[in-house]
A and B are shown apart, each in its own frame.
Chain A
Amino acid sequence: SAVISQKPSRDICQRGTSLTIQCQVDSQVTMMFWYRQQPGQSLTLIATANQGSEATYESGFVIDKFPISRPNLTFSTLTVSNMSPEDSSIYLCSAPTGRGTEAFFGQGTRLTVV
Protein backbone atom coordinates (compact mmCIF):
# COMPACT_ATOMS: atom_id res chain seq x y z
CA SER A 1 0.00 0.00 0.00
CA ALA A 2 1.13 3.53 -0.72
CA VAL A 3 1.82 6.15 1.90
CA ILE A 4 1.01 9.77 1.16
CA SER A 5 2.44 12.54 3.30
CA GLN A 6 1.20 16.10 3.23
CA LYS A 7 2.82 19.18 4.67
CA PRO A 8 1.83 21.29 6.48
CA SER A 9 -0.93 19.50 8.37
CA ARG A 10 -2.50 22.82 9.24
CA ASP A 11 -1.82 26.52 8.91
CA ILE A 12 -3.38 29.86 9.69
CA CYS A 13 -2.69 32.46 7.03
CA GLN A 14 -3.37 36.12 6.47
CA ARG A 15 -5.67 37.08 3.63
CA GLY A 16 -3.85 38.08 0.48
CA THR A 17 -0.95 35.71 1.06
CA SER A 18 -0.23 32.34 -0.56
CA LEU A 19 0.37 28.90 0.88
CA THR A 20 2.06 25.98 -0.84
CA ILE A 21 1.02 22.48 0.22
CA GLN A 22 3.36 19.60 -0.44
CA CYS A 23 2.37 16.01 -1.20
CA GLN A 24 4.88 13.17 -1.19
CA VAL A 25 4.07 9.61 -2.27
CA ASP A 26 6.32 6.72 -1.31
CA SER A 27 6.08 5.16 -4.77
CA GLN A 28 6.00 6.42 -8.32
CA VAL A 29 2.54 7.26 -9.61
CA THR A 30 1.43 8.66 -12.93
CA MET A 31 -1.45 10.77 -11.68
CA MET A 32 -1.99 12.71 -8.50
CA PHE A 33 -5.17 14.51 -7.54
CA TRP A 34 -5.90 17.53 -5.38
CA TYR A 35 -9.20 17.87 -3.53
CA ARG A 36 -10.82 20.48 -1.34
CA GLN A 37 -13.16 19.63 1.50
CA GLN A 38 -15.01 22.45 3.17
CA PRO A 39 -16.20 21.96 6.74
CA GLY A 40 -18.90 19.31 6.95
CA GLN A 41 -18.94 18.86 3.19
CA SER A 42 -17.86 16.22 0.72
CA LEU A 43 -14.68 16.31 -1.33
CA THR A 44 -14.45 18.39 -4.48
CA LEU A 45 -11.79 17.65 -7.07
CA ILE A 46 -9.64 20.67 -7.86
CA ALA A 47 -7.28 19.28 -10.46
CA THR A 48 -5.36 16.31 -11.80
CA ALA A 49 -1.58 16.62 -11.76
CA ASN A 50 0.31 14.61 -14.37
CA GLN A 51 4.07 14.44 -14.43
CA GLY A 52 5.52 16.26 -17.39
CA SER A 53 2.41 18.15 -18.38
CA GLU A 54 0.20 20.92 -17.11
CA ALA A 55 -2.41 20.10 -14.54
CA THR A 56 -6.01 19.64 -15.64
CA TYR A 57 -8.43 21.79 -13.65
CA GLU A 58 -12.06 21.09 -12.88
CA SER A 59 -14.81 23.58 -13.50
CA GLY A 60 -14.62 26.44 -11.05
CA PHE A 61 -10.91 26.12 -10.39
CA VAL A 62 -8.22 28.02 -12.29
CA ILE A 63 -4.47 27.81 -12.52
CA ASP A 64 -3.90 31.39 -11.38
CA LYS A 65 -5.62 30.66 -8.09
CA PHE A 66 -4.40 27.09 -7.57
CA PRO A 67 -1.09 26.60 -9.39
CA ILE A 68 0.16 23.02 -9.25
CA SER A 69 3.60 21.60 -9.78
CA ARG A 70 4.50 17.99 -10.52
CA PRO A 71 8.28 17.85 -10.85
CA ASN A 72 8.57 14.06 -10.61
CA LEU A 73 6.54 10.88 -10.17
CA THR A 74 6.47 11.02 -6.36
CA PHE A 75 5.84 14.67 -5.54
CA SER A 76 3.37 17.47 -6.18
CA THR A 77 2.55 20.86 -4.74
CA LEU A 78 -0.64 22.88 -4.67
CA THR A 79 -0.48 26.60 -4.03
CA VAL A 80 -3.48 28.52 -2.78
CA SER A 81 -2.85 32.05 -4.01
CA ASN A 82 -4.10 35.42 -2.83
CA MET A 83 -6.09 33.75 -0.09
CA SER A 84 -9.40 34.94 1.27
CA PRO A 85 -11.45 33.54 4.17
CA GLU A 86 -13.51 31.58 1.62
CA ASP A 87 -10.41 29.48 0.94
CA SER A 88 -10.51 28.14 4.48
CA SER A 89 -10.87 24.42 3.95
CA ILE A 90 -9.10 21.09 4.10
CA TYR A 91 -6.95 20.32 1.07
CA LEU A 92 -6.13 16.70 0.30
CA CYS A 93 -3.94 15.00 -2.23
CA SER A 94 -4.61 11.55 -3.59
CA ALA A 95 -2.81 8.99 -5.69
CA PRO A 96 -3.74 5.59 -7.10
CA THR A 97 -2.56 2.34 -5.64
CA GLY A 98 -1.86 0.80 -8.99
CA ARG A 99 -4.52 -1.89 -8.50
CA GLY A 100 -7.31 -0.06 -10.28
CA THR A 101 -9.59 2.73 -9.19
CA GLU A 102 -8.61 2.53 -5.55
CA ALA A 103 -6.76 5.53 -4.22
CA PHE A 104 -4.86 6.60 -1.16
CA PHE A 105 -5.31 9.99 0.41
CA GLY A 106 -3.04 12.15 2.45
CA GLN A 107 -4.20 13.22 5.89
CA GLY A 108 -5.07 16.65 4.56
CA THR A 109 -3.98 20.22 5.21
CA ARG A 110 -6.37 22.28 7.29
CA LEU A 111 -6.13 25.87 6.12
CA THR A 112 -7.64 28.79 7.97
CA VAL A 113 -7.49 32.23 6.37
CA VAL A 114 -7.96 35.20 8.67
Chain B
Amino acid sequence: LAKTTQPISMDSYEGQEVNITCSHNNIATNDYITWYQQFPSQGPRFIIQGYKTKVTNEVASLFIPADRKSSTLSLPRVSLSDTAVYYCLVGDMKPGGYQKVTFGTGTKLQVIP
Protein backbone atom coordinates (compact mmCIF):
# COMPACT_ATOMS: atom_id res chain seq x y z
CA LEU B 1 0.00 0.00 0.00
CA ALA B 2 1.31 3.40 -0.94
CA LYS B 3 2.41 5.53 1.98
CA THR B 4 1.24 9.10 2.21
CA THR B 5 2.90 12.17 3.69
CA GLN B 6 1.03 15.34 4.57
CA PRO B 7 1.60 18.31 6.88
CA ILE B 8 0.74 17.66 10.50
CA SER B 9 -1.17 20.88 10.93
CA MET B 10 -2.29 24.06 9.18
CA ASP B 11 -3.96 27.27 10.26
CA SER B 12 -6.18 29.41 8.08
CA TYR B 13 -8.43 32.42 8.51
CA GLU B 14 -12.09 32.20 7.75
CA GLY B 15 -12.95 32.93 4.13
CA GLN B 16 -9.59 31.89 2.76
CA GLU B 17 -8.91 29.06 0.36
CA VAL B 18 -6.98 26.21 1.93
CA ASN B 19 -4.77 23.83 -0.01
CA ILE B 20 -3.51 20.66 1.65
CA THR B 21 -0.90 18.71 -0.27
CA CYS B 22 -0.25 15.01 0.11
CA SER B 23 2.78 13.13 -1.21
CA HIS B 24 2.42 9.53 -2.37
CA ASN B 25 5.58 8.74 -4.30
CA ASN B 26 4.91 5.00 -4.47
CA ILE B 27 1.39 5.20 -5.85
CA ALA B 28 0.51 2.21 -8.03
CA THR B 29 -1.28 2.19 -11.35
CA ASN B 30 -4.56 0.94 -9.88
CA ASP B 31 -4.53 3.25 -6.87
CA TYR B 32 -7.11 5.97 -6.35
CA ILE B 33 -6.59 8.99 -4.13
CA THR B 34 -9.24 9.67 -1.53
CA TRP B 35 -9.61 12.37 1.11
CA TYR B 36 -11.54 12.06 4.33
CA GLN B 37 -12.52 14.59 6.97
CA GLN B 38 -12.82 13.75 10.64
CA PHE B 39 -14.36 15.86 13.37
CA PRO B 40 -13.71 15.08 17.04
CA SER B 41 -15.77 12.16 18.35
CA GLN B 42 -16.92 11.19 14.87
CA GLY B 43 -15.85 8.66 12.26
CA PRO B 44 -14.10 9.89 9.11
CA ARG B 45 -16.32 11.24 6.36
CA PHE B 46 -15.59 10.90 2.65
CA ILE B 47 -14.84 14.21 0.91
CA ILE B 48 -13.55 13.51 -2.58
CA GLN B 49 -11.81 10.91 -4.69
CA GLY B 50 -9.83 11.04 -7.91
CA TYR B 51 -7.46 9.17 -10.17
CA LYS B 52 -5.85 11.92 -12.24
CA THR B 53 -6.19 15.60 -13.27
CA LYS B 54 -8.89 17.49 -11.43
CA VAL B 55 -12.05 16.48 -9.63
CA THR B 56 -14.53 18.92 -8.14
CA ASN B 57 -17.62 18.41 -6.06
CA GLU B 58 -19.82 20.62 -3.92
CA VAL B 59 -17.35 20.80 -1.04
CA ALA B 60 -13.83 20.55 -2.47
CA SER B 61 -11.53 20.17 -5.44
CA LEU B 62 -8.79 17.62 -5.88
CA PHE B 63 -5.81 18.36 -8.08
CA ILE B 64 -3.61 15.49 -9.24
CA PRO B 65 -0.57 16.12 -11.45
CA ALA B 66 0.31 13.87 -14.35
CA ASP B 67 2.85 11.82 -12.40
CA ARG B 68 0.27 11.24 -9.60
CA LYS B 69 3.00 11.35 -6.96
CA SER B 70 1.14 14.03 -5.07
CA SER B 71 -2.31 15.49 -4.76
CA THR B 72 -3.78 18.70 -3.39
CA LEU B 73 -7.09 19.06 -1.62
CA SER B 74 -8.52 22.54 -2.07
CA LEU B 75 -11.21 23.86 0.25
CA PRO B 76 -12.72 27.14 -1.00
CA ARG B 77 -13.48 29.87 1.53
CA VAL B 78 -13.21 27.84 4.71
CA SER B 79 -15.41 28.49 7.71
CA LEU B 80 -14.97 27.62 11.38
CA SER B 81 -16.92 24.42 10.80
CA ASP B 82 -14.15 23.17 8.50
CA THR B 83 -11.84 22.79 11.50
CA ALA B 84 -11.07 19.08 11.42
CA VAL B 85 -8.43 16.51 10.57
CA TYR B 86 -8.05 15.75 6.87
CA TYR B 87 -6.67 12.40 5.75
CA CYS B 88 -5.20 11.55 2.38
CA LEU B 89 -5.49 7.88 1.44
CA VAL B 90 -4.23 5.90 -1.50
CA GLY B 91 -5.79 2.55 -2.28
CA ASP B 92 -6.38 -0.01 -4.98
CA MET B 93 -9.81 -0.26 -6.53
CA LYS B 94 -10.47 -3.96 -6.95
CA PRO B 95 -13.45 -5.59 -8.66
CA GLY B 96 -16.37 -5.34 -6.28
CA GLY B 97 -15.22 -2.02 -4.96
CA TYR B 98 -13.46 -1.22 -1.76
CA GLN B 99 -10.00 -2.28 -0.80
CA LYS B 100 -8.50 -1.73 2.62
CA VAL B 101 -6.54 1.48 2.84
CA THR B 102 -3.96 2.83 5.22
CA PHE B 103 -4.59 6.08 7.03
CA GLY B 104 -1.63 8.42 7.30
CA THR B 105 -1.06 10.95 10.02
CA GLY B 106 -3.62 13.41 8.69
CA THR B 107 -3.52 17.21 8.65
CA LYS B 108 -5.17 19.06 11.50
CA LEU B 109 -6.73 22.19 10.01
CA GLN B 110 -7.56 24.98 12.41
CA VAL B 111 -9.73 27.74 11.00
CA ILE B 112 -9.31 31.03 12.83
CA PRO B 113 -12.02 33.69 13.03
Residues of A within 8 A of B (CB): 4, 30-31, 33, 35, 42-45, 48, 92, 94-108, 110
Contacts and interface: CB of A to CB of B under 8 A. Distances in A.
Contacts of A31: 98, 100
A102 B34 contact: yes
23 contacts: A31-B100, A43-B87, A43-B103, A44-B103, A92-B43, A92-B44, A94-B43, A95-B98, A96-B98, A97-B46, A97-B97, A98-B97, A100-B97, A101-B92, A101-B97, A101-B99, A102-B34, A102-B46, A102-B98, A103-B101, A105-B44, A106-B43, A108-B43
Contacts of B89: 101
Nearest to A41: B105
B100 A99 contact: no
Nearest to A110: B41
Contacts of A96: 97-98
B43 A101 contact: no
B43 A105 contact: yes
A45 B102 contact: yes
B93 to A, nearest CB: 5
B83 interface: no
Given A107-B43, A108-B42, A102 B49 contact: yes
Contacts of B96: 30
